[in-house]
Structure 1
């Protein structure tokens, strides 16, 4: 009787041990599967992150930049919305054509060529594919010596070429109103033509063509274009800019 009880107890002990072993195996198997699943998910997430990063880098590399470096005309002085200024209109044109270019408006109201010369190094810290130079009007209105205006513009051109030889430069020409005197206005106009020729730059003969002197296309000061005037300015710029974009494509 004692032996029977001992055998039964032993049998029950074996059964219990077997059950516990099975539970442990199930637990271990589940743990391994969960662990593998986490590893797989982690790898997939890592791969997804890598793909996203590579995609972002690729996008950054393919995007090109057009920087407008100018005065109040570029800045859009007096407009309710700066997007109505010609650089904003150029961006809208580019987007409508599906071109991969970003426009940066670096216009500063009241800027002279001397002021532009002093801030050009800071502006050139970013990558620029096309650089549109629109400065000189404030020099003329303030009676700055023509030789100084030309020297400053040349210094800006030289800085761009030195920092980024592959950057295409477009020079925007400017003219003074006839009441400044025929000799002065003629010599002022020639500055831009000569610089474009000497540096072999793409050239916009007169950025305010069709706008300058037209009352209904300018604000009350008679100097700064209205939103409607900027549309014409954008057209003047695009005629030259589009050829440079085609050249770089």
Structure 2
């Protein structure tokens, strides 16, 4: 290959590297719906978070900090997560499903206080301008809830209240908000009424993909 062509290619690659921004790092702190623990191993690649990263064509690096059974009062786990990741461009908090098991009047105000504490801690760590997206919990299939079916109606009511309260908190803290309530069809929640199957994860990905790509 002629030397002049090699020089041209090197300059072109250098220019491309300078004009292509690095991927944005977004931490997703959530529960089992974020962790994907309910998906069979053969379908793990269809987790909504994995689908979004693949669709981003290298523009996003998504860090999955989901954990099964996690409620909003997991503040020590949130502190540990902040210590593990000294840098982040944005944060997604996707909690509330496990809180909805608490059908007492204290459920919603406690969850809001916990999320507010997380927001404050995150912006202390990553800077006051950190973009944060609060994700309101998804809907349930009351007919498939299994052993928790006796409180199905009350739990659904709490999920609606949590979504409304999280949306209000997002406005108060200059964060963003998106609700997943109504996103997952009942047919994707047949396993236990709560955890979406692969098709349900695809439905979640369609809602969250544009929000994560625009989160800045």
Gaps of 5+ in 1: 1-57
Cα deviation digits, residues 2-50 of structure 1 (max 9, x gap): xxxxxxxxxxxxxxxxxxxxxxxxxxxxxxxxxxxxxxxxxxxxxxxxx
> Given the alignment of the two structures, is residue 174 of structure 1 paired with residue 145 of structure 2, yes or no?
no
Greater relative contact order, per chain length (Cα 8 Å cut-off, separation 6+): 2
Q: What CA RMSD, in Å, does the superposition of the two structures yield over aligned residues?
A: 2.4
Find the aligned partners of 2:197 and 2:94 in 1 and give their Cα distance: 18
Find the aligned partners of 1:141 and 1:162 in 2 and give their Cα distance: 31
Find the aligned partners of 2:61 and 2:97 in 1 and give their Cα distance: 26
Aligned residue runs from structure 1 range 15-164, under 5 A: 62-81=22-41, 82-95=44-57, 98-99=58-59, 101-115=60-74, 117-125=75-83, 126=85, 127-143=87-103, 145-164=107-126
Find the aligned partners of 2:212 and 2:164 in 1 and give their Cα distance: 21
Deviation at 1:176, TM superposition (A): 6.0
Find the aligned partners of 1:132 and 1:223 in 2 and give their Cα distance: 20
Find the aligned partners of 1:186 and 1:217 in 2 and give their Cα distance: 19
Find the aligned partners of 1:182 and 1:142 in 2 and give their Cα distance: 11
Deviation at 1:190, TM superposition (A): 1.8
Alpha carbons of structure 1 residues 182 and 111: separation in structure 2 relative to 1, 3 Å: closer
Report the number of matched residues.
Answer: 179
Moved over 6 A (4+): none
Deviation at 1:239, TM superposition (A): 2.7
Alpha carbons of structure 1 residues 90 and 215: separation in structure 2 relative to 1, 3 Å: same
Residue of structure 2 in register with 1:240 after alignment: 211
TM-score by length of 1: 0.65
Q: Which SS does the other structure have where 1:137 is aligned?
A: coil
Q: Is the 8 A contact 1:111 1:135 kept in 2?
A: yes
Deviates more, 1:220-229 or 1:140-149: 140-149
Find the aligned partners of 1:90 and 1:236 in 2 and give their Cα distance: 10
Residue of structure 1 in register with 2:3 after alignment: none
Aligned residue runs from structure 1 range 191-230, under 5 A: 191-204=165-178, 206-211=179-184, 214-230=185-201
Higher percent of residues as helix: 1
Q: Which SS does the other structure have where 1:102 is aligned?
A: strand
Gaps of 5+ in 2: 1-17, 141-151
Q: Which SS does the other structure have where 2:98 is aligned?
A: helix
Q: Which SS does the other structure have where 1:200 is aligned?
A: coil
TM-score by length of 2: 0.74
